[in-house]
Amino acid sequence: MDIKNNVKKIFFEMNLILMIMTLLLIIAGSVSIYSATFSEIKVYFFKQIIWYVIGLFLMFVMFNINYNLIIQAANYLYVFFILILIVVLVFGKEIMGAQRWLQLGWFQIQPSEFMKIVIPVTIIRFILIKQNKPFTTKNLFKIFLLVVIPILMILKQPDLGTAILLLPIVFVILFIGNIKIKKLIIIFLIFLSLLPFSYFVLKDYQKQRLYVFFNPEIDRLGAGYNVIQSQIAVGSGKFFGKGWLQGTQSQLNYIPVKHTDFIFAVITEEFGFLGGFIILFIYFIFIMECLKIINLCKFTGGKMLGAGLTTMILLQIFINIGMTIGIMPVTGITLPLLSCGGSSTFVILISIGILQNIYKEYIKVEK
Amino acid sequence: MKKYSILENIKEIHHRFLRIKFLAWIVSIFFFILLIRLFYLQIIKGDYYRKLSQANCVSIVKKTAPRGHIYDRNYSELVINIPSFKVNIIPFYFLKNENFEKTIVELANILDIPPEDIKEKLSKDRGYILEPVTIKRNLSEKEISLIEEKKLYIKGILIEPEPKRKYPFKSTASHILGYISEITKEQLVDSSYKNYKAGDIIGQAGIEKQYDQILRGEDGATYILTDARGKQIKILNEIPFKYGKNVVLTIDIKLQKFAEQLMEKNKYKGVILAMEPATGEILCMVSKPDYDLNFFSGNIDVKYWKKLLRDKDHPLTNRAVQGLYSPGSIFKIVVGLGGLNEKMIDINTSFLCEGIYWIKTWPYKCWRRDGHGHVSFFRAIAESCDIYFYKLGLKMTVEMLHKYALMFGLSEKTNIDLPGEKAGIVPSREWKIRTSNSPWFPGNTVMMSIGQGYLSATPLQIINLANAIANEGYVMQPHVLKAITLSNRKIYKLFEPIKLIEVNIDKKNIEYMRTAMKRVVNSAAGTGKKAFISDIIVAGKTATVENPQGETHAMFAGFAPYNKPAISVLVLIEHGGGGGDVAAPLAKEVIEFYLKELKK
């Protein structure tokens, strides 16, 4: 009786639409990762199932921790993860020319992924502390420092994708924090004017990716290869796709890193426009539900946190799919819940857990 | 104060609501962009990308069919295949080499070709990922060993065997045989070559071009499903190649060689043509100057090719079918027969030749300045009196000359099975008005009646004048193909002789012409008596053709033996001098060699 009540309570307090969308994405992810790793590396599929299970567990944990506690603990988290980033830079494991991973026993974690939660939480706490006038120039400069230090460390790894992702997240948090639009535009312009200088920070292979983005034909078998092969895969799916496990581009390895970065190419090759449309539709409902939760939430902190996390998920969707279909440059950003990978799965499911908790707190208040 | 705070709060909440709404719009726009792009790629461009994805994973390994051999009429090998080697690059692997740019330069040095050529070939679009590019054919042993060395540490270089043409008789009969080379860029866009693909080796001249479809056989291919690393997954389909069929020519290579040596000995430019009148088979076809086939075997020697193109003597032109000459006095066969047939003359009608003939103030000379006196038909032909034919021609008028010239096949292609044949010109009144906008003068008729002036014909058409007389009124279709055989020498197809021309002239008159042509060689005053052979009766006609470039062309057309002609010959020596002095003796040698040495 007690257990039944508990389950009932959980379902009552949980946003069901968000939960259903999450489960649908996990199912779609399992199906497509199975196909992507079918021809050789089946071990990834089983690993991913484990990640999903652990991730769902973490989601339930976060669902039951009041998000305000996380905001309060932000400073400790911030310092802790900065230290971990330093450790990564010193002892990190190098994979494909980037030093992003920490070896923990039999699996690796990618701490920069977790910064996508820690940094938003930190600046939200800062904004909440400066209750009356959070957006003075002095405070904004402090926020800037809080953000820039970890970004530089992440860039050093280098993990351009994650670093780029962090800036819009911060913008949206400020935006929902009710910063004056004028100020936001000024900040935006300052960053825009700094953008050309970032070119000097980019590594050669990153520059190459940018050139290739603007003209994949310049290097058909080199850097442009990924972009072209991915588009061929997507386009050749036509309306109904080639069928599960039947995609020639996927199964014959013409798509690079197909189980992680280019998983969407596998889906659209094998399930066609129909499959791609369904995935986009699920994501759309998912994001809209997140926005609904943010809107329902009565507290500035919750709104900002929810908005930050939603922005993160949205941008990952847009950048990853965009790169697969050739409207975004290639960066190592994963597709939420569909790409294979432990850290990214955890971060997304933790974020969903936090969003669910924001909803739960709202339900409590309503009562 | 408190009231204000609440108001402020409500305002703030409203602001947030608007901002979240704004975010919702942004989200919608993002998803809309993705959907539109997805629609574009999968629905609008779906077919295009589906094709690309298929081309991507199927590699086609071409198996070139060995080209058929070419034999002469006695089955002597004229063109055969021997193994050679070419170097291929598979760009997919090759471009993965570190500093491949440097490797290109090294390769270019070994192969002695400009590095830009290799770069250009590598940059071309390919149908599937593993498609190889041929960099150089016909490698020397040294090149092979140097590249074998390189292959050890460079990916994507292959040395592959390939049959190459060999010419056992060296450059003999080069104009008939022709050469082969890789299909050119211009040919690839030409619709008449639409069945060929880039990289195909095709015949570019002579028999190799004419019978390319028969000689080339059918290429085979293996379709292999390949993954992105170039690993073979499975063989989808295998099409075996079909051997090219062999071609047997009517040419007698011994006669061809003999005739070529006759020309070379005297450094003559011109044509020696020999045929079998009864069948139309070409026994030999010499066109000098010619070119050396061995420079075309494997890679075309560029320097040699440019030299050939620059040469003012046009060694690439097969004069026998592509050269146009005035037939000169040989045309008198046509005029004489026309006159007899139209009953303008009979064999006893005589004209007075005083060595010169005046039309108003224009003098027209006979080659014999002191004149032939009173000349009748047989002497006019045998001694080639010009004034007899001036007068006859004027009597017949240009219309009739035109009619009989056409009857003998002039200005009409013979459709011999060699490429590039010319048709020649038989002038007429309206032709002259059309081309030069001036009327026909009696002087034009005079020139035409001795085969000069605007009249032009190929040596092949000229020899057909002799063939018509040899055959007593018809001409067979000239051809060089005797048979097509399979690789086991079984006959696949025989060439059936066809009649090309049937001359509508009384047999009796043709008999007169035969007799007259016999006298050309066999009478004491005959212009062609240097073609006389003691135990074989030769008949023929000489011509000494005036031309603006200089010394006269020497010509002789004839046949032998008189009673049952087995060979007809045309000798044309450019700027050689008199037909009787220069051409007739060569014709004699060709006839004698053929009838005495080759036919026993």
The amino acid occupying position A23 is: L
One DSSP character per residue, B242-289 reads: BPPPEEEES--HHHHHHHHHHHHHTT--EEEEEEETTTTEEEEEEEES
Phi, psi of B482 (to 5 degrees): -95, -45
CA distance A299 to chain B (A): 10
Distance from the Cα of B39 to chain A's closest Cα (Å) equals 7
Q: Which of B527, B514, B531 is nearest to B367 (CA)?
A: B527
Pairing of strands B180-182, B201-203: antiparallel
| CA gap A80, A142 in Å, rounded | 19
Q: Pick from A252, A286, A288 the residue to mutate for testing the B interface (most B CBs within 10 Å).
A: A252
Q: Higher pLDDT residue, B65 or A59?
A: A59
pLDDT at B456: 94
User: d(Cα B413, Cα B322) in Å, to the nearest integer?
Assistant: 11
State both tokens at B537: 């009766």
**CATH superfamily name and code, B59-249:** Penicillin-binding protein 2a (Domain 2) (3.90.1310.10)
Distances (CA, A) of A43 to A93, A349, B227, B228: 20, 22, 21, 21
Q: Alpha-carbon dihedral of residues A326, A328, A332, A336, nearest 10 degrees?
A: -90
Distance, CA of A174 to chain centre: 19
How much is the pLDDT for B9?
Answer: 77
Q: How far apart are CA B525 and CA B257, in angstroms?
A: 33
Residue B161: strand pairing partners: B85
Torsion of CA A176, A180, A182, A187, to 10 degrees: -60
**Higher local confidence (pLDDT), A203 or B45:** B45
Predicted local distance difference test score (pLDDT) of residue A44: 86
Reading chain B (600 residues) residue by residue, the pLDDT tens digits are 445 577 777 887 888 888 999 999 999 999 999 999 999 999 999 998 888 888 777 777 778 888 999 999 999 999 998 888 888 888 777 877 777 788 888 888 888 888 888 888 777 766 566 778 888 888 888 888 888 887 777 778 888 888 888 888 888 999 999 988 888 888 888 888 878 877 788 898 999 999 999 998 888 888 877 777 667 777 878 888 888 999 999 999 999 999 999 999 999 999 999 999 999 999 999 999 998 888 887 667 788 888 888 888 889 999 999 999 999 999 999 999 999 999 999 999 999 998 899 888 888 888 888 889 999 999 999 999 999 999 999 999 999 999 999 999 999 999 999 999 999 999 999 999 999 889 999 999 999 999 999 999 999 999 999 999 999 999 999 999 999 998 777 888 888 889 999 999 999 999 999 999 999 999 988 999 999 999 999 999 999 998 888 899 999 999 989 999 999 999 999 999 988 999 999 999 999 999 998 876
More confident residue, B395 or A251: B395
- What's the pLDDT at B2? 47
Per-residue pLDDT, B402: 95
pLDDT at B593: 95
Tokens of residue A247, six digits: 């995609």
Best mutation target among B18, B19, B129, B223 (most A Cβ atoms within 10 Å) is: B19
Name which of A235, A280, A288 is nearest B48 (Cβ-Cβ). Answer: A235
Q: Residue B59 burial by CB count (10 A; 0-12/13-18/19+): exposed, middle or buried?
A: buried
Statement: residue A40 has pLDDT above 70: no
Contact A254 B227 (CB under 8 A): yes
Q: Are strands B77-89 and B133-136 parallel, antiparallel or unpaired?
A: antiparallel
Q: Please give the pLDDT value at position A97.
A: 64
Whether the CB of B18 is below 8 Å from some CB of chain A: the reply is no
H or E element at residue B356: strand B356-359
Touching check for A266 and chain B: CB below 8 Å? no
In this model, does residue A220 exceed pLDDT 60?
no
| Closest CA of chain A from B59, distance in Å | 13
Cβ–Cβ gap A235/B50 under 8 Å = yes
Q: A271-299: per-residue pLDDT in tens?
A: 999 999 999 999 999 999 999 999 999 88
- Residue of chain B with shortest Cα separation from A249: B53
pLDDT 10s digits, A109-165: 888 889 999 999 999 999 998 877 778 888 888 898 999 899 888 888 777 788 888
Beta carbons of B85 and B244 less than 8 angstroms apart: no
The predicted structure's pLDDT at residue B388: 93
Segment A250-271 shows an average pLDDT of 86
Name the CATH code of domain B253-314+322-598 (choices 3.30.460.10, 3.30.465.10, 3.40.710.10, 3.40.50.2300): 3.40.710.10
Q: Please choose, from the candidates B462, B449, B464, B466, the residue with its C-alpha nearest in 3D space to the C-alpha of residue B323.
A: B462
Q: Is A350 on the interface with B (CB under 8 A)?
A: no
What does the domain layout of chain B look like in residue ranges?
2-44, 59-249, 253-314+322-598
- Any B CB within 8 A of A231 CB: yes
Q: Does A126 touch chain B (CB under 8 A)?
A: no
Report the mean per-residue pLDDT for chain A.
Answer: 86
User: Which ipTM did the prediction report?
Assistant: 0.93
Q: Which two tokens stand for residue B176?
A: 């008939």
All residues at 6 or more sequence positions from A78 whose CB lies less than 8 Å from its CB, including other chains: A118, A119, A121, A122, A146
Give the Cα separation of B515 and B495 in Å (integer): 33
Tokens of B206: 């002579």
What's residue B1's pLDDT?
41
* Structural domain of A322: 2-366
Pairing of strands A93-95, A98-104: antiparallel
DSSP line for B366-417: -SSTT--EEE-HHHHHHTT-HHHHHHHHHHHHHHHHHHHHHHTTTTS----S
Distance CA B549, CA B121 (A): 46
Mean pLDDT to the nearest integer, A51-58:
95
Q: Touching check for A183 and chain B: CB below 8 Å? A: no
Phi, psi at residue A355, to the nearest 5°?
-60, -40
Q: Is the pLDDT of residue A83 over 80?
A: yes
Whether residue B20 and residue A307 make contact (CB cut-off 8 A), yes or no, is yes
Number of residue pairs across A and B with CB atoms under 8 Å? 129
Contact B19 A178 (CB under 8 A): yes
Asked if B229's CB is within 8 angstroms of A237's CB, the reply is no
Q: Decide if pLDDT at A304 tops 70.
A: yes
Cβ neighbours, 10 Å, residue B238: 12
d(CA A296, CA A358): 9
Task: Give the closest-approach CA distance of A80 to chain B in angstroms.
Answer: 32
Q: Minimal Cα distance from A307: which residue of B?
A: B20
Which two three-digit tokens encode residue B98? Answer: 């570190």
Q: Structurally, how many domains does chain A consist of?
A: 1
Q: Specify the pLDDT at position B148.
A: 84
CB contact under 8 A, B42 and A276: yes
Residue of A249, A276, A280 with shortest CB distance to B53? A249
Residue A14 parent element (H or E): none
C-alpha–C-alpha distance, residues B331 and B404, integer Å: 10
Judged against a pLDDT cut of 90, whether residue A177 lies above it is answered with no
Chain B residues with beta carbon closer than 8 angstroms to that of A232: 49, 52-53, 56
Q: Give the tokens for residue B49.
A: 């990308």
